[in-house]
Structure 1
Amino acid sequence: MAKKPLLVAMALSATLLAGCQHTGGINTDLAVSSGLSAYKAATLSDADAKAIADSGCQEMDSQNKIAPASSQYAKRLKTIAKSLGGDIDGTKINYKVYLTKDVNAWAMANGCVRVYSGLMDMMTNNEVEGVLGHELGHVSLGHSRKAMQTAYATVAARDAVSATSGVASVLTQSQLGDIAEGAINSAFSRSQESDADDFSYDLLKKRGITTQGLVGSFDKLAALSGAESKSLFDSHPPSTERAQHIRDRIATDKK
């Protein structure tokens, strides 16, 4: 593992249902101001992006305690995964639960989906379905890839990483860690969050899953307060507005 480049990038999230504002040791102003960073983001190939995401998922798994197949968390997620389906846009999805009190979930563009037991503790299966549908939306709509490109470009500009094919193999573990920090904590725009919400709603409908769980997940996120809410769910727009948007869609569908 010491010689293998590792990354916890391409997420998605992407943190669930919200864009976190923290980027650790990365100077995000550099990504905006540097022409070099923009160039490197544009030259990151699909193959490189997948290689980085593959290594990132492995690194995240190595740093977290994964729920064994015999645990109630894993059994619940297996049921949820069956409902949501095993692929997104032709990419196979790999679902796992991290045993931690943190409330979080994310998905990488290579189909790596992780949900934290802390989130499962506060939500029903249907609400978790809504949450993961949202994360898959960020992947399908290209938001996760763009977040990773920006994080990669920032580190590339800072450290003068050469824009060559197979860049994942030349990045150091420290660089990959910085890219991961920026990608997973990337703040999605208001429109990106709304589009991912609608993607989740449409996915649930397509799979024959009640969409009420999406409303419930937003209501519970809106009820969070303090440091936990501040660090994970600075959502744009607010969870209360997003819950109402889904209620409006449900009402329209009933007409």
Structure 2
Amino acid sequence: MLKLAPILLAILYALVSYKFSAWKTAKTLDEQSTLLKDPELDGLNHDMASALDLPKIKVHIFEIEPINGLAAPDGRIFITRGFFNKYKEGEVTAAELASVIAHELGHVALGHSRRRMIDFSGQNAIRVALATVLGRIIPGVGVWIANMLTTMLAARLSRSDEYEADAYASALLTKAGIGTEPQKSLFKKLDTLTGSLGAGTPAWLLSHPKTTERIEAIEAREAKWGVTLD
């Protein structure tokens, strides 16, 4: 029984961590967000809602500066204030921002946003359990190995989710009559917009795929679907 203690404690830690993380995330988003209202974006959101047979797509602005889009575990979609400001300043088009919304809708529709919260808690539990076990077997190095293994696992799962959400967005944008060009053009701007975050980090440790690979995946889908460009 004592040998199972680290595993049982890790499971309990995962459950408590999940509940707390979900509560904290919802509370933060509630306190720091407002409903997005913009005539051009509202029109594009209406087109996507029609393509999904939904009455409306609500998007919120999360009042932080980093450039990002978010899909909350409860299904709400958020664009950060920093991203919205780039749109208002003309650095990002309405169609490009709509592609971000489509991508986040993909995370919700495919169950990524809720599962990620569970995965995050589970990965922390695995990290604790591995660090405990490996720390005894390989003192000093065991904790480092546990951190590396769980980081690699998290990055791999996240990259897979991003590709799936990209594919969902491509299909939705095409069905809505917006097309995939805004999706590709935004990817080409991302490194500049975000300050090349992750530059120099090995691809297998990045939580998002490289932008060039994401564009190549979109173009492969276009070829498969028979999409032609004017």
Q: Is the 8 A contact 2:99 2:173 kept in 1?
A: yes
Give 1:219's match in structure 2, choosing from 188, 203, 209.
188
Distance apart, 1:215 and its partner CA: 0.4
Cα gap change, 1:236 to 1:151, in 2 (>3 Å):
closer
> For residue 123 of structure 1, what is the aligned residue in structure 2?
92
Cα gap change, 1:54 to 1:248, in 2 (>3 Å):
same
Distance apart, 1:124 and its partner CA: 1.0
- Residue 245 (1) aligns with residue 217 (2): yes
- Residue 210 (1) aligns with residue 179 (2): yes
Distance apart, 1:112 and its partner CA: 0.9
Q: Is the 8 A contact 1:94 1:111 kept in 2?
A: no
Q: Is the 8 A contact 2:36 2:60 kept in 1?
A: no
Distance apart, 1:154 and its partner CA: 6.8
Cα gap change, 1:77 to 1:40, in 2 (>3 Å):
farther
Q: Is the 8 A contact 2:102 2:172 kept in 1?
A: yes
Instruction: Decide which structure has greater helix share.
Output: 2
> For residue 108 of structure 2, what is the aligned residue in structure 1?
139
> 2:102 & 2:119 partners in 1: Cα distance?
24
- Residue 114 (1) aligns with residue 78 (2): yes
If asked which structure has higher relative contact order (CA below 8 Å, sep 6+), I would say 1
- Residue 83 (1) aligns with residue 47 (2): yes
- Residue 190 (1) aligns with residue 159 (2): yes
Cα gap change, 1:65 to 1:189, in 2 (>3 Å):
closer
Quick check: 75-84 or 130-139, which moved more? 75-84
> For residue 97 of structure 1, what is the aligned residue in structure 2?
61
> 1:38 & 1:90 partners in 2: Cα distance?
38
> 2:50 & 2:60 partners in 1: Cα distance?
13
Q: Is the 8 A contact 1:100 1:117 kept in 2?
A: yes
Cα gap change, 1:86 to 1:235, in 2 (>3 Å):
farther
Cα gap change, 1:149 to 1:198, in 2 (>3 Å):
same
- Residue 149 (1) aligns with residue 122 (2): no
* 1:236 alignment partner AA: H
Q: Is the 8 A contact 1:97 1:114 kept in 2?
A: yes
Distance apart, 1:79 and its partner CA: 2.7
* 1:117 alignment partner AA: R
Structure 2 portions without partners, runs of 5+: 1-5, 128-153, 200-205
* 2:197 alignment partner AA: S
- When normalised by structure 1's length, the TM-score is 0.56
Cα shift readout 1:157-200 (whole Å, capped 9, x = no counterpart): 99xxxxxxxxxxxxxxxxxxxxxxxxxxx754332221111111
Distance apart, 1:113 and its partner CA: 0.8
Cα gap change, 1:215 to 1:40, in 2 (>3 Å):
same
Distance apart, 1:35 and its partner CA: 4.7
Q: Is the 8 A contact 2:95 2:182 kept in 1?
A: yes
> 1:146 & 1:250 partners in 2: Cα distance?
29
Q: Is the 8 A contact 2:50 2:176 kept in 1?
A: no
> 1:83 & 1:92 partners in 2: Cα distance?
9
Distance apart, 1:114 and its partner CA: 0.8
1:97 match: secondary structure = strand
Structure 1 portions without partners, runs of 5+: 1-32, 43-47, 159-185
Q: Is the 8 A contact 1:36 1:157 kept in 2?
A: no
> 1:77 & 1:54 partners in 2: Cα distance?
30
Cα gap change, 1:37 to 1:213, in 2 (>3 Å):
farther
* 1:129 alignment partner AA: A
1:114 match: secondary structure = strand
> For residue 14 of structure 1, what is the aligned residue in structure 2?
none
Cα gap change, 1:225 to 1:123, in 2 (>3 Å):
closer
